[in-house]
Structure 1
Amino acid sequence: MVEETVVEQTWRGMLERRPEARRGEPAVVEAAYAEPRLRALFPFPSHGALSFHRNTQFPWSNDLPFIVGDAQSCIVYAPLGVPERVLGESLTPHEAAALVVAHLPPDCGPAFDGPWPPPESSTD
């Protein structure tokens, strides 16, 4: 049997609403999970937002768009430091997840196990 990665375990715990899992808005979590590129990232729900990280341990990458909202209406924000912070508003959870994917860097994912920044690649 193949062992689950930290990312897979985290998503599963959130989707199954396990007591030890962080709590996110179910409709937003499900919509994000439906997007393969987001499913490969580390999900982190907190204070009404669902953020995505390139790594699985603190400190987080914090360089990707994130979703704030519920089943009725979502806003997608660019990461801190981006002049135009609001990328979209009054979106369904699925529209919000698709907008996050559209704004991911091309080299984004899957998340690696460990803290940010990424480990140095070895040069041979």
Structure 2
Amino acid sequence: MPEAPDIETAWLQLLEGTPGTRQGDPLVVEAAYAQSRLRALFPFPTHGTLHFLCAAPPPWPGSDRDRLPFIVCGEQPYKIYTPDYGELLGEAATPEEAAALLVAHLPDAVGEDADE
């Protein structure tokens, strides 16, 4: 399955449910898109989670610049973890709360150049 070539296309494919592309939990995707800092990142749904990358793939192996928190989707509560499930940062009852909690744990300057 081909990856989107850029951040804008990746969000468009997720929001529209474009066939043949990675898809995530629609409610979590919409809540994440509503957050300008997350909208500036490449959304990467995989294995029931929604991850975020600083740029469209590649590079993959050993890239520390994309070690960002992520949301575990599916059933409530939504959980936000540090990379590799290192630490549970918190739980949220709604997708909107989950997206806001993730934004609160983003490193400084990540996604900050996004338009409010």
The question of a shared fold, defined as TM-score above 0.5 by the shorter chain, is answered with yes
Counterpart of 2:33? 33
Is the 2:37–2:111 contact (alpha carbons within 8 Å) kept by the matching residues of 1? yes
CA distance in 2, matches of 1:52, 1:104: 10
Runs of 4+ that moved beyond 3 A: none
Is the 2:17–2:23 contact (alpha carbons within 8 Å) kept by the matching residues of 1? yes
Is the 1:75–1:91 contact (alpha carbons within 8 Å) kept by the matching residues of 2? no
Counterpart of 1:64? 68
SS at match of 1:11: helix
Counterpart of 1:101? 103
Asked which structure has the greater CA Rg, the reply is 1
CA distance in 2, matches of 1:31, 1:90: 12
User: TM-score scaled to structure 2, two decimals?
Assistant: 0.80
Is the 2:36–2:111 contact (alpha carbons within 8 Å) kept by the matching residues of 1? no
Counterpart of 1:122? none
- Number of residue pairs matched by the alignment: 105
Amino acid in the other structure paired with 1:107: A
Counterpart of 2:11? 11
